[in-house]
Structure 1
Amino acid sequence: MLESIGFAQKQRLAYIDFCLLFKGSIYRQDLISRFQVGLSAGSRDFSIYKELAPDNLSYDSREKRYLQTTEFKPVFEHDAKITLTKLANNISDGFDAIGDIHFPVEAPSSLNVPDIFIVARLVQAILNNKAVSIIYTSLSSGSGARELVPHSIVDNGLRWHVRAFDRKSQSFRDFVLTRISKVTIKDMPDPEESAQADTEWQCLVPLQIVPHPKNVQHPTAIEMDYGMENKQLLIEVRAAMAGYLLRRWNVDCTERGILRGPEYQLWLLNRFTLNNVPNLTIAPGYITKEQSNGGQT
């Protein structure tokens, strides 16, 4: 049946499929507003979708929206890499499932690609403000059940993780998506478990980055690469993300710029003003003030 449907209508059907998969529901008005179609055309699209997958959705007459059923199976194949990138950039359309326009641009492959259904359940929980029960395999304790309150899906440059409140440790942490093998949506979270209570996420820290003083012979080239002004790059990032960014860019975070090698073309100039940012411990060469004093406080 899909072969006989035109491209424009396939886009709308893919959007319905995408919303059910990642949001768990869709209003008819969502489709009408997104594609600027009439009420009758929108109704026809839902009728065709129900013909294609009658067990995928049910209609809630009280809330006037279509809901994902427990028997849901996507009609379209949603590409995990493309979908994650679109979610990260707030482009939620599902069009990759029917053949997006692909530009001749290549990027290094991610180390791993998460299961699209794991991502979908987590996104549903985030959008609907729900906690989740997961099976997670960690390096320290192996596989086990955890209860999380997720609030963001994050690309740290190497892999994807979910930022969430961990009810076991009673703290906000990062959980690698590929280590999650099962997700069950649960109850509503308490206010202290929400993104607003995640101080590292809400806090923006300034990073003052300059060409490496010892490894770079022609700093003007680095200034051009990063669009520096007055020979430096000033950016603000979430405290929970600062270390990831510095590690991705190979920024030397030692006190006097002592890291050697062609990969270290940048140096963090204001490292001591950032001593209370836990995420910086993963940045190249970064040590805390206490560590530099031999553990003395």
Structure 2
Amino acid sequence: MEYAINKSKENPLLKKKLDSYTHSQIKQLYFIDFSLFFKGHLNTSSLQERFSLTPADALASFQHYLDCAPENIDLDELNQRYFQSNSFKPLFAYDVRRTLTKITNGISDGFDAIEAQPYPIQAPSLLNTPDLTVVARLSQAIMNGNAVNVIYTSLSSGSSARDLVPHSIVDNGLRWHLRAFDRKSQTFRDFVLTRISKVSLLSNDNDIRETKRYDEEWNSPIKLKIVAHPKNVQFATAIEIDYGMIDGVLEINTNAALAGYLLRRWNVDCSVDAHLTGGEFQLWLKNRNEIKQVQNLAIAPGY
């Protein structure tokens, strides 16, 4: 089994120590490292539940981690709770794409084994990827209810400091963004992750109106009804098969905050009369009139 050590920590002694551990022990170390990195804390019971360990075995795993990276942990001995230290640097190296996928799908093991013979499947390259340290800080803030101060660079106003109360990290198909309450504009907004260059955790004593439950667009479910484009597609059956349409219609349940991203990602013509031309427009939004109040649709093709 191969794995990648964070370059800032890599040395022959550490590699030798890690090589002496079993596959199961390495996975437990990854889980501890990943939890500290993206959640900020961990206790022995979490490790016991995740790997069906006895209390003694869980403590032994934490000791192995301390042997490898003693500067990464602050210990609350009374509650057997381990916190990310101020000098924390992840023990392992994490692939950005894999890690973002894991976070999106609620996978918390962090394990990134390097396959000796990878499967013959390729995915398109990403033009950009966010800084994992930024993602980790935002993940910690969301999971622990903290507000954050960030340095954000926008197209309209350049770089500035903003206080945000984040509640979700989203892959919109083209890039990753943060959904958060912006204390400057007093609204819930989307922030592109790659434009966030610094994150500082603030208090978790937030006004309830700044929390996810008060994000009206996020909590407004809508149904999109998508069909084969009536003008650009000669054989509609091919499109219906592609997307598993039922009676010629693909129904997608989403929310008002994400609808526009989805429609733009799949090049869905959202014009009233299906007038967009070009081979990329193979789909048409049939029920535009039913959801015309959704602000996020402004970014959809032809809207």
Given the two structures, how large is their TM-score scaled by the length of structure 1?
0.94
Please give the alpha-carbon distance, in whole angstroms, between the structure 1 residues aligned to 2:255 and 2:114: 35
* Cα drift, residue 272 of structure 1: 1.2
Query: Could you tell me which amino acid in structure 2 is paired with residue 82 of structure 1?
Result: R
Please give the alpha-carbon distance, in whole angstroms, between the structure 2 residues aligned to 1:62 and 1:209: 56
Kindly provide the CA deviation profile for residues 253-282 of structure 1, in whole angstroms up to 9, marking residues without a partner as x: 001100011110000011111111110000
Trace 1:4-43 onto structure 2 (pairs within 5 A).
4-43=20-59
CA RMSD of aligned residues (A): 1.2
1:122 counterpart = 2:138: yes
1:177 counterpart = 2:193: yes
Query: Could you tell me which amino acid in structure 1 is paired with residue 294 of structure 2?
Result: V
Residue in 2 that maps onto 1:244: 261
Trace 1:246-261 onto structure 2 (pairs within 5 A).
246-261=263-278
Trace 1:198-209 onto structure 2 (pairs within 5 A).
198-209=215-226
User: Unmatched 5+ residue regions in structure 1?
Assistant: 287-297
1:235 counterpart = 2:252: yes
Residue in 2 that maps onto 1:111: 127
Kindly provide the CA deviation profile for residues 67-93 of structure 1, in whole angstroms up to 9, marking residues without a partner as x: 111011111011111110111111121
Residue in 1 that maps onto 2:295: 278
Query: Could you tell me which amino acid in structure 1 is paired with residue 237 of structure 2?
Result: T
The DSSP-based 3-state class of the residue aligned with 2:71 is coil
Among 152, 162, 166, the alignment partner of 2:178 is 162
Please give the alpha-carbon distance, in whole angstroms, between the structure 1 residues aligned to 2:171 and 2:79: 34
% same residue = 55
1:141 counterpart = 2:157: yes
Among 251, 260, 263, the alignment partner of 2:280 is 263
The DSSP-based 3-state class of the residue aligned with 2:89 is coil
* Cα drift, residue 100 of structure 1: 6.3
Query: Could you tell me which amino acid in structure 2 is paired with residue 81 of structure 1?
Result: R
Given the two structures, how large is their TM-score scaled by the length of structure 2?
0.92
Residue in 2 that maps onto 1:94: 110
Aligned length: 285
Please give the alpha-carbon distance, in whole angstroms, between the structure 2 residues aligned to 1:193 and 1:61: 34
Please give the alpha-carbon distance, in whole angstroms, between the structure 1 residues aligned to 2:60 and 2:179: 39
1:48 counterpart = 2:67: no
The DSSP-based 3-state class of the residue aligned with 1:86 is helix
The DSSP-based 3-state class of the residue aligned with 2:217 is helix
The DSSP-based 3-state class of the residue aligned with 1:199 is coil
Query: Could you tell me which amino acid in structure 1 is paired with residue 259 of structure 2?
Result: A
Structure 1 stretch 74-83 or stretch 127-136: which is displaced more? 74-83
Kindly provide the CA deviation profile for residues 189-218 of structure 1, in whole angstroms up to 9, marking residues without a partner as x: 210000100010011111110100011111
